[in-house]
Amino acid sequence: MTKTFQLKKLFLIFTIFLNISCKDYSHLFNPTKLGNLEVINHFIRSATVEGKSTPEGYPTKDVIELYKKLAQGNIGVIVTSAVYITKNERSFKQQLGIYDDSSISHFKEITDYIHKNYKSKVIMQIIHASACNIQAEPEKADIIGPTAMTDYFSGLKCREMTKEDILKVQQDHVDAAIRAKKAGFDGVQIESNHGYLLAMFLTPLYCLMMDMMIIFLMEIVLILIFGKLILILIFLKLIKKIIMMLIMIIIMIIIMKKIKILIKIKIIIII
């Protein structure tokens, strides 16, 4: 029995279990393209932390074995767990890291094996941890964010990023992507979810500038709906105050309920 056939059988059982067997999903086994990357099927292994790296962030034998097994299972695209890109800013101790060139050869062992023996593509997920996610040695980390504040969840204080910080974070992502390419990965996925640094820019919980953007957008929508009356109110600055109050109430409710509302975005870049 071929691996594809086994996978097909498993998938069939799964769809019957979900009572959606009436639909035809056989196209999921057909080749496809991800950007300019040829992919053998539509199956993607979503990034999942394994928490088994060395203290330096290198993959251990267990990690290497896991990725080999995923390729053996004929997964079209394998996305690694979140890999940290700056030495002192990581989420937890046994996380994979690619903050300097020393890790390249370790990761190459995984990609070389997969590319030599299987048709799976391998994408490295890169992250810059932030205040709510730095659980490993926060005292060593430079905790930055869009706005200076005490994090709602971790209680860690983050300082507001300067223009230089923004440029450095961009460069850190570029450097990590270059290392990933040298290590043989087919692409990188930029983690902008789960409260990591980039996700902080996507929520008014952390990014006060976002409040201003929301107000601006809401103003435009209201003007489109109600016309000139709203323009007069805006002129009187009334509407801004009302919207600001509404946003503050929503934020208070979110904090009180301890709900982590963060926009989930994962971007894949083929390198």
Ligand X SMILES: Cc1cc2nc3c(=O)[nH]c(=O)nc-3n(C[C@H](O)[C@H](O)[C@H](O)COP(=O)(O)O)c2cc1C
**Residue 86 tokens, joined:** 């700056």
Alpha helices in the chain (DSSP H): 3-17, 61-72, 104-117, 163-182, 197-200, 208-226, 228-235, 238-257
In the complex, the smallest distance separating the C-beta of residue 48 from ligand X, rounded to whole angstroms, is 4
In the complex, the smallest distance separating the C-beta of residue 45 from ligand X, rounded to whole angstroms, is 9
Which of 28-36, 44-52, 115-123, 141-149 is the region at the interface with ligand X (rule: CB under 6 A)?
A: 44-52
Phi-psi region of 199 (alpha: psi -120 to 50; beta: other; left: phi over 0): alpha
Using CB under 6 A as the binding rule, the residues of this chain from 99 to 128 that contact ligand X are 125
Using CB under 6 A as the binding rule, the residues of this chain from 167 to 186 that contact ligand X are none
In the complex, the smallest distance separating the C-beta of residue 52 from ligand X, rounded to whole angstroms, is 12
Which of 33-41, 42-50, 100-108, 219-227 is the region at the interface with ligand X (rule: CB under 6 A)?
A: 42-50
Is 200 among the residues that bind ligand X (CB under 6 A)?
Answer: no
The residue from 37, 44, 49, 64 that contacts ligand X (CB under 6 A) is: 49
Is 150 among the residues that bind ligand X (CB under 6 A)?
Answer: no
User: What are the b/e assignments for 74-111, b being 16+ CB within 10 Å?
Assistant: bbbbbbbbbbbbbebbbbbebbbbbbeeebbebbebbb
CA distance 75 to 61: 20
CA distance 268 to 271: 9
Is 83 among the residues that bind ligand X (CB under 6 A)?
Answer: no
Residues forming the site for ligand X (CB under 6 A): 46-49, 81-82, 125, 191, 193, 266
